[in-house]
Amino acid sequence: MSVANCSAFLEQLDQWMEGERSPAAVAHLRSCKACGNLIADLDSIRDTAPSLAATDPEPSERVWSALRAQLQDEGLIHAAHPGVSDILKRWLRGTFLVLPRPVLAGAYLAALIAVGFVLSGSNGLRNDSNLWMSRMQRSTQPLSASLETEEGAISSMADTNPVVTASLRKSLAAIDNDIALCEKSVREEPQNEFVRDYLYEAYQQKADLIAQVTEGDEGQ
Amino acid sequence: MSTSCNLSGSLSWKVAGVLVPGLLLLSALPASADKIQRHFKVDARPVVTVHNPNGTITVRAWTKSEVMLIATRATDQVEVDAEQSGNRVDINTRQVSDSASPESTRADYEISVPEDAELQIHDDSGGVNVSNVLGDMNVETIAADVDMADVAGYLTVKTVGGSFQCARCAGRLEVSSITGNFRLIDLRSTYVRAQTSEGNILFTGQFLPNSTYRLKNYNGVIEVRFSPEDSFDLSATSLKGKVHNEAKLVPPSHHHFLPRFGNGLFGSFNSGRAMVELSSFDGTINILKRN
């Protein structure tokens, strides 16, 4: 099967994660940073999973709903089209079976971010600023909402070590500042893939930090 | 086998054989005990894990086939658990009371290990110092600074706000932080990936052939110092900031792959045997001659 674009590659995502890798998919991955990042994130989640203990494995339906809605919005899911979200859901669910909740929080957000990044670069809309803006907002709004919910963990964190708490809060503020700067730049240059890359990476960092905080807090 | 003992006493374990099965639990500290010394016989490539939420961790290599722990605890509000399982030694600080103040739960560790030891260190606040250890190591901190010297192996360091310094490090280095600064001094690493959001990154070292050096931040200064003998392909991009360069670069032959946004600098220095990628969102990138 020819893999000419990201959508075609995503159709083969299930096979890819099972180890069936067509030359066309391999070739696409070499040339597509977005899909490369997605695979790297999924590989990272899979590699981390075996070393972690099982606790509360099931990701919330909210996550799947957000993924599905996002994919449908982008037109990647159709009745006759293999459901990319179902592939991701099935694969990630298997992974999440051995992930504790704090790690899971970071992991599913990372997956969401990775998907968002793929979607933002897959439709060849490079010359249409309005469409880029629209796609960017659709990609980041669910992430932002999820992260705001999780962010309460830092506010409610037990203040057992003021040095640690201060460092976490300072870092969270720094990331929020980065996100704000990147979003401003995205509004100014919606087609700039590098700015979008920085924005998604900032969200990734925020997700990782929040996961780290919740993990530490539960460990106390 | 599991054994508990009073830490103020002196007890040494010597078990013949390649592996040393057994478990040494060090707990139930007397109130007066504030300094602890323990020895664990180990084989080649032992694994040493240290989990210390608050305090300094100093690890040095020595020539003995054993791990020595000297722990100093601030009060009896914390206990130090050290146990050996096969060729692995786990050291853990345990808080006795939930209401104890941070000052009273501090524990400082001095640990001597064989030079091929693998280290896994977690320290929220305080500081981590590692020197002359050649095994792989993973260090995670929140506010604690990490200082390494003369180490090698596969090094992964992750901090939230702590700074990182590595002097004369070799092997493979991956370091990330959010607000921490990095100082990579006289490195001889074959792979370096360093990323911090709001920190500065300083790199002085050899750009080894067929090696990769990726330094990235959002804000702050990325400074790389090169010598005339170095050979590298350079990609330096700051989307909103500036790029200052003292290297005479040969422009790349394929311009159509170059980014169209930001302030970028691309080219080869000498024959381009190493790959150097510097990227920042709105920080400053300096590529300067080494004195």
This model of the complex carries an ipTM of: 0.81
A205/B contact by beta carbon, under 8 A: yes
Instruction: Give 3-state DSSP helix, strand, coil % of chain B, rounded to 5.
Output: 0, 55, 40
CA–CA separation, B73 and B36 (whole Å): 8
Percent of chain A at pLDDT > 90 equals: 4
Nearest CB to B143 within list A164, A174, A198 = A164
User: B48 - beta bridge partners?
Assistant: B89, B119
Q: Which 3 state secondary structure label does DSSP give B269?
A: strand
Round the average pLDDT of chain A to a whole number and report it. Answer: 66
Contact at CB, A161 and B124, closer than 8 angstroms: yes
Half-sphere exposure of B24 (CA within 13 A, CB side): 27
pLDDT band at A205 (very low <50, low <70, confident <90, very high): confident
Q: Which residues of B touch A168 (CB under 8 A)?
A: 142, 160-161
What is the 8-class DSSP label of residue A60? P
Q: Given this model, what pLDDT does residue B16 score? A: 37
Which of B136, B174, B154 lies closest to B49, judged by CA?
Answer: B136
pLDDT (tens digit per residue) in B85-94: 999 999 999 9
The reply to whether residue B53 touches residue A161, judged by beta carbons under 8 angstroms, is yes
Query: If you average pLDDT over residues A108-132, what whole number do you get?
Result: 53
- pLDDT-derived band at B212, boundaries 50, 70, 90: very high
Say yes or no to pLDDT of B28 above 50.
no
B39-50 pLDDT, tens digit per residue, is: 999 999 999 999
Mean pLDDT of A104-132: 53
Of A164, A174, A181, the CB nearest to B178: A174
Task: Say which residue, A101 or B141, is predicted with more confidence.
Answer: B141
When pLDDT is averaged across residues B12-26 and rounded to a whole number, the result is 39
Q: Which residues contact B184 (CB under 8 A, 6 or more apart)?
A: B165, B166, B169, B173, B192, B194, B201, B202, B203, B204, B205
Residues B239, A194: C-beta atoms closer than 8 Å? yes
**pLDDT interval class at B6 (50, 70, 90):** very low
What is the per-residue pLDDT across B29-38, written as a single tens digit (0 to 9) for each? 444 448 899 9
Rounded CA separation A131/A61 (Å): 28
Question: Which range has the worst mean pLDDT, A12-21, A37-46, B25-34?
Answer: B25-34
Which pLDDT score, from 0 to 100, does residue A143 have?
A: 62
Q: Residue A148's pLDDT is what?
A: 65
Strand partners, B39: B68
B273 pLDDT band (50/70/90 cuts)? very high
pLDDT on residue A73: 54
Q: In this complex, how many residue pairs, one in chain A and one in chain B, have their CB atoms less than 8 Å apart? A: 75
The amino acid occupying position A162 is P
